[in-house]
Amino acid sequence: MTRIIADISISLDGFVTGPDPGPDNGLGTGGEALHDWAFSDAPGDRRYLAEATARSGAVILGRRLFDVVDGPRGWDDTRGYGAGEVGKPPFFVVTGSAPESVRLADLDWTFVTTGLPDAVAAARERAEAASARSGNDLDVVLMGGGATIASALDAGLVDALTLHLAPVVLGAGTPLFTGAVPRGFVQRSVTSTSTATHLTYDVL
């Protein structure tokens, strides 16, 4: 069964970027430490990344995050979603309008201008089709940014939440939970490595 999974790295004090994030500084000042686990050579981190990306049948991101990953300092052949781990899933961008051009033209981009629920529905359809072809259950992953994931949680669109808790205090930045709708979770798994604690919750 295809699930909608929100997946994001977060600091001990609840931030998903450091201070002053922007197109040329996507993770903000000091925010790179949030993703040390994704670039770690530790077997536990490599295994977790490989297993998670292998289950990705489609990926959703907001426009601000798209502008970062498609920008000149964004993704390349060695840095990107599951780089070096799996085939490239289709990407769905929630945006007010499609960009005039795309640098990463070799990726499968769909720009959804009618809202997050429509993006989730379209991504689910693609993930379910990929599941049928492969014979494996593949998920839709909301990779961020923080506002997109928070909105999806508040709207009840998320089945599971995965947090990669980095051992860093940023002091400021982009918080994940600000004025959030109260919601319960059921803890399903905890995996500790030298660079992060990977937590997965079912959303009630």
What is the chain's pLDDT, residue by residue, as a tens digit (204 residues)?
999 999 999 999 999 999 998 888 889 999 999 999 998 988 888 888 888 899 999 999 999 999 999 999 899 888 888 776 767 899 999 999 999 999 999 999 999 999 999 999 999 999 999 999 999 999 999 999 999 999 999 999 999 999 999 999 999 999 998 877 888 999 999 999 989 999 999 999
pLDDT given for residue 11 in this prediction: 98
pLDDT given for residue 103 in this prediction: 97
Tell me the torsion sign for CA atoms 56, 116, 188, 175.
Answer: positive
pLDDT given for residue 86 in this prediction: 67
pLDDT given for residue 77 in this prediction: 82
- Determine the Cα–Cα distance for residues 103 and 122; give it in Å rounded to an integer: 23
Residue bearing tokens 């909608």: 4
**Two tokens at 104?**
């990463």
DSSP the chain: ---EEEEEEE-TTSEEE-SS-BTTBTT-TTGGGGGGGGG---HHHHHHHHHHHHTEEEEEEEHHHHHHHTSTTS--SSSSTTTTTSPPPPEEEE-SS--S--S-TTS-EEEE-S-HHHHHHHHHHHHHHHHHHHTS--EEEEEE-HHHHHHHHHTT--SEEEEEE-S---SSSEES-SSPPP--EEEEEEEE-SS-EEEEEEE-
- Determine the Cα–Cα distance for residues 166 and 24; give it in Å rounded to an integer: 22
Q: What residue ranges do the domains of the chain occupy? A: 4-203
4-203 folds as Dihydrofolate Reductase, subunit A (3.40.430)
